[in-house]
């Protein structure tokens, strides 16, 4: 369904005019630094990591909101990063995104229903009355009765309701691939489960694949078939959700898991040292080594590759024993 | 008892009507106790914390009740007397450290100014104390010379905590101190709050994260739509919740270590200008009956307080 190969995104660092005059070297933030993965039809992959790890940028490149610095993306065996604009637009109907902030993703001057109608019109799926009818029934489907909600304005809706509109707008195009970027992190706690349920119900109905970006491993546990853990622009570990959670191989995954608040008392704790490194100046060897309590000489020199079939990890000295 | 809140009501008079953000809330915190106030946005948990600090600005107003801290009736104090208590006896840490730090002043200046305002020390002594405080919260003492923008979000929050504890308060109120931070940084800050408790200070943590509260607190108070709906021992309350809202909330949040049946809570939190008649949770409650059209009483069940007709 989707194959990402060695994806890279470097952002140039803004400099003052004086700095530009004094030095020729340009610094880059290596937001995404060689990410590869594959997804099957109907599969949900959770992309987890701390803020700044590159998970959102990865998602934005896939839906075409950013151009990659390097690497390739194949959607149904077709390379999509080098497509011309018009072809890209056609493709975009099938690859949709749900954003984190439901307050920023809707147009404050447009009626709720018009967001959906516009989506249909732009992609040439339906117009006028037909589009309106489709919008009405999609609003019903996401739990916002069309009769009541079509003519409302975004400000009249709560955060949870807005996120339902954003989901409806993406789903009305019957996409085959959806990137959901922290879709519940700004929603009231008691409403989160319902939003997740709604998203997953579309996965079942359309058999769509979903890249679910989250910093919250407890959410990843319930939504994802697989988990990929990112750190400083790279995937550190990837595998079946429960395997990664209960038998993490990478010390970073284990440290993340040790910090997640839980109702269950923790039996094992893996430490992490200091603060996240600067993405302009990525550490040598394994980029995690300055924070890793188990780092040895080799880790400072050689960068480990992501290796393994079902459960892969990029670590010279993987952990043994489970959580 | 270090802090006693009795029948506290804080209202906001808006153009659309009066919002009873905190409505008749009674609770207490002991010396050296870690208490979490859990609830969703708009439930009144933050307003409760701000009321204790008397930081409610118009159109808000504490309209009834009593707050006793260390034997002193806080609501009867003059603004000047209250200002002395704030900081020296009760410290507070807010959600967004960037808005509470002055971007133009060095961290050391900001901490030492707070110290000098309340204590009779020289500037040099105050700076030395600032260094010690930073070390205590796990930062390098040289950070006194940093400006806020040179620090990460987690480091800024630690500076805020250093400032809040610099005067040795008996109670630290932390209002969603880690909401904007990553879990790893959150863990470190929470460890630190627990250390404070071990030193004999009381901690009042305001959070929407039930698991976080369960992990760290001695007791938990659950708020819904301005009401305190349940309060009791953290472990008992999370393992065997009594109030239908507490039950529903726990059942609706996923847990990284547990296979559980996630059940969404139906409906939305109410509009507080027009709250539902009777029990405010009634429209979302699967146990609701005729009785619930009247306001439920607060009853004590096995050492726990619960505001629900099921137990009345």
A267 and chain B: CB distance < 8 Å anywhere? no
CB contact under 8 A, B154 and A197: no
Nearest to A51 among B41, B182, B263 (CB): B182
Measured between CB atoms, does A321 come within 8 Å of chain B?
A: no
Contact B256 A51 (CB under 8 A): no
Residue A311 Cα to chain centre, angstroms? 20
Provide the β-strand partners of residue B228. B223
Calpha distance A252→A257 (Å, rounded): 9
Q: Token digits for B24?
A: 């008749």
In chain B, which residues have their Cβ closer than 8 Å to the Cβ of A51? 182
pLDDT of residue A86: 84
> Following CA atoms A148, A154, A158, A160 in sequence, which dihedral angle do they give, to the nearest 10 degrees?
90
For residue A19, pLDDT beyond 80: no
Q: Do A261 and B152 touch (CB under 8 A)?
A: no
Cα(A154)–Cα(A157) distance, integer angstroms: 5
User: Partners of B247 in the beta sheet?
Assistant: none
- Of all residues in chain B, what percent carry a pLDDT higher than 90? 68
When pLDDT is cut at 50, 70 and 90, the band that residue A179 belongs to is very high
* Reported confidence tier of residue A83, pLDDT bands at 50, 70, 90: confident
Summarised one tens digit per residue, pLDDT across range A249-259 is: 999 999 999 99
Q: Is the pLDDT of residue A51 over 90?
A: no
Inter-chain residue contact A189 with B264, CB threshold 8 Å: no
Query: Measured between alpha carbons, how far is B108 from B134 in angstroms, rounded to an integer?
Result: 9
The tens digit of pLDDT for each residue in A101-126 reads 888 889 999 999 999 999 999 999 99
Asked if B215 has any chain A CB less than 8 Å from its own CB, the reply is: yes
Cα angle B102, B118, B205 (rounded to 5 degrees) comes to 65
Q: Identify which has the larger pLDDT, A241 or B150.
A: A241
C-beta separation of B208 from B178 below 8 A: no
The position carrying tokens 């071990």 is B198
Closest chain A residue to B250, measured at CA: A190
- Its sign, for the CA torsion A213, A219, A223, A227, is positive
Close Cβ partners of B240 (under 8 Å, ≥ 6 residues apart): none
Structural domains of chain A sorted by starting position, each given as residue range(s) with its CATH number in brackets: 2-224 (3.40.50.300), 251-323 (no CATH)
User: Cα separation of B204 and B34, whole Å?
Assistant: 6
Domains present along chain B, CATH in parentheses: 3-80+199-311 (3.40.50.300)
User: Residue A17 — very low, low, confident or very high, per pLDDT cuts 50/70/90?
Assistant: confident
- The parts of chain B modelled with pLDDT lower than 70 are 97-98
Give the residue on B whose Cα is nearest the Cα of A257. B256
Tens digit of each residue's pLDDT (9 = 90 or more) over A22-46: 766 678 899 999 999 999 999 999 9
User: Is residue B61 within 8 angstroms of chain A, CB to CB?
Assistant: no
Share of chain A above pLDDT 70, in %: 98
By Cβ distance, the residue of B40, B152, B209 closest to A275 is B152
Is B177 within 8 Å of chain A by CB? no
Give A190's pLDDT tier (boundaries 50, 70, 90). confident
At B98 the pLDDT is 67
CA dist., res. A86 & res. B251, Å (int): 47
**How many A/B residue pairs have CB atoms within 8 Å?**
104
Most B CBs within 10 Å, among A187, A190, A247, to test the B interface: A190
Give the ipTM.
0.86
DSSP secondary structure letter of residue B310: G
Residue in chain B closest to A267 (alpha carbons) equals: B257
Per-residue pLDDT reduced to its tens digit, A270-290: 999 887 778 888 999 999 999
Q: Say how many CA atoms lie within 13 Å of B188 toward its Cβ.
A: 22
Give A323's contacts in chain B (Cβ within 8 Å).
257
Quickly tell me which residue has 């995937």 as its tokens: A235
- For position A23, what pLDDT does the model report? 67
Strand partners, B172: B91, B203
- Point out the residue among B184, B262, B269 whose CB comes nearest to the CB of A50: B184
C-alpha–C-alpha distance, residues B254 and B85, integer Å: 40
- The alpha-carbon radius of gyration of chain A (Å, integer) is 21
Cβ–Cβ of A190/B187 closer than 8 Å? no
Cis amide leading into A123 (omega within 30): no
Over the stretch B283-292, which tens digit does the pLDDT of each residue have?
999 999 999 9
CA of B260: which chain A residue's CA is closest? A222
Distance CA A172, CA A123 (A): 11
Tell me which chain A residue has its CA closest to the CA of residue B249.
Answer: A190
H helices present in chain B, as ranges: 45-52, 79-88, 97-100, 107-118, 123-136, 153-165, 183-198, 210-216, 234-239, 244-252
A44: left (phi over 0), alpha (psi -120 to 50) or beta: beta
Specify the pLDDT at position B82. 94
């Amino acid at each position: 369904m989707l194959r990402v190969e060695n994806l890279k995104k470097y952002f140039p660092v803004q400099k003052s005019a004086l700095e530009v005059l004094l030095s020729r070297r340009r610094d880059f933030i290596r937001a995404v630094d060689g990410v590869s993965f594959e997804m099957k039809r109907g599969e949900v992959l959770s992309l987890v990591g701390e803020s700044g790890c590159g998970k959102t940028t990865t998602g934005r490149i896939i839906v075409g909101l950013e151009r990659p610095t390097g690497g390739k993306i194949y959607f149904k065996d077709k390379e999509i990063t080098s497509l011309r604009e018009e072809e890209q637009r056609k493709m975009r109907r099938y690859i949709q995104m749900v954003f984190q902030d439901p307050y920023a993703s809707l147009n404050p001057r447009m009626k709720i229903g018009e967001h959906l109608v516009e989506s249909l019109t732009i992609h040439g799926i339906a117009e006028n009355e037909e589009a309106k009818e489709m919008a009405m029934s999609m609003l019903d489907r996401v739990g916002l009765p069309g009769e009541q909600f079509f003519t409302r304005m975004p400000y009249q809706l709560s955060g949870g309701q807005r996120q339902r509109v954003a989901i409806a707008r993406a789903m009305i195009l019957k996409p085959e691939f959806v990137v959901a970027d922290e879709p519940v992190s700004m929603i009231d706690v008691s409403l989160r489960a319902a939003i997740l349920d709604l998203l997953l119900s579309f996965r079942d109905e359309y058999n769509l694949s979903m890249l679910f970006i989250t910093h919250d491993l407890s959410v990843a546990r319930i939504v994802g078939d697989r988990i990929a853990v990112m750190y400083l622009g790279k995937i550190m570990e990837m595998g079946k959700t429960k395997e990664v959670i209960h038998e993490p191989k990478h010390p970073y995954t284990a440290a993340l898991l040790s910090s997640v608040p839980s109702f269950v008392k923790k039996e094992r704790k893996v430490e992490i040292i200091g603060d996240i490194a600067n993405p302009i100046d990525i550490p040598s060897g394994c980029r995690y080594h300055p924070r890793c309590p188990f780092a040895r000489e080799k880790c400072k020199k050689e960068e480990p590759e992501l290796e393994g079939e079902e459960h892969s990890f990029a670590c010279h000295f993987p952990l043994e024993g489970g959580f | 008892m270090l802090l006693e809140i009795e029948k506290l009501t804080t209202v906001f008079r808006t153009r659309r009507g009066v919002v009873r953000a905190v409505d008749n809330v009674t609770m207490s915190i002991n010396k050296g106790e870690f208490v979490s106030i859990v609830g969703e946005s708009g439930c009144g948990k933050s307003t409760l914390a701000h009321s204790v600090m008397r930081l409610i600005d118009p159109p808000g107003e504490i309209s009834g009740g009593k707050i006793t801290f260390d034997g002193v009736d806080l609501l009867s104090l003059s603004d000047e007397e209250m200002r002395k208590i704030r900081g020296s006896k009760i410290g507070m840490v807010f959600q967004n450290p960037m808005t509470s730090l002055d971007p133009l002043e060095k961290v050391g200046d900001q901490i030492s100014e707070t110290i000098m305002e309340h204590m009779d020390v020289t500037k040099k002594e105050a700076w030395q104390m600032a260094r010690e405080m930073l070390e205590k919260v796990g930062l390098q003492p040289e950070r006194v010379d940093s400006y806020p923008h040179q620090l990460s979000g987690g480091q800024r929050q630690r500076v805020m905590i250093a400032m809040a504890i610099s005067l040795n308060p008996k109670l630290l109120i932390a209002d969603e101190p880690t909401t904007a931070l990553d879990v790893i940084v959150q863990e470190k800050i929470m460890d630190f709050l627990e250390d404070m408790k071990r030193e004999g200070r009381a901690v009042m943590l305001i959070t929407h994260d039930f698991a976080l509260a369960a992990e760290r607190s001695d007791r938990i108070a659950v708020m819904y739509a301005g009401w305190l709906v349940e309060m009791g021992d953290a472990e008992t309350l999370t393992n065997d919740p009594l109030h239908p809202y507490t039950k529903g909330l726990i059942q609706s949040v996923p847990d990284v270590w547990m296979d559980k049946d996630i059940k969404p809570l139906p409906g939305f939190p109410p509009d507080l200008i027009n709250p539902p008649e009777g029990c405010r949770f009634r429209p979302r409650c699967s146990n609701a009956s005729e009785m619930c059209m009247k306001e439920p009483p607060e009853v004590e069940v096995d050492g726990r307080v619960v505001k629900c007709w099921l137990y009345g």
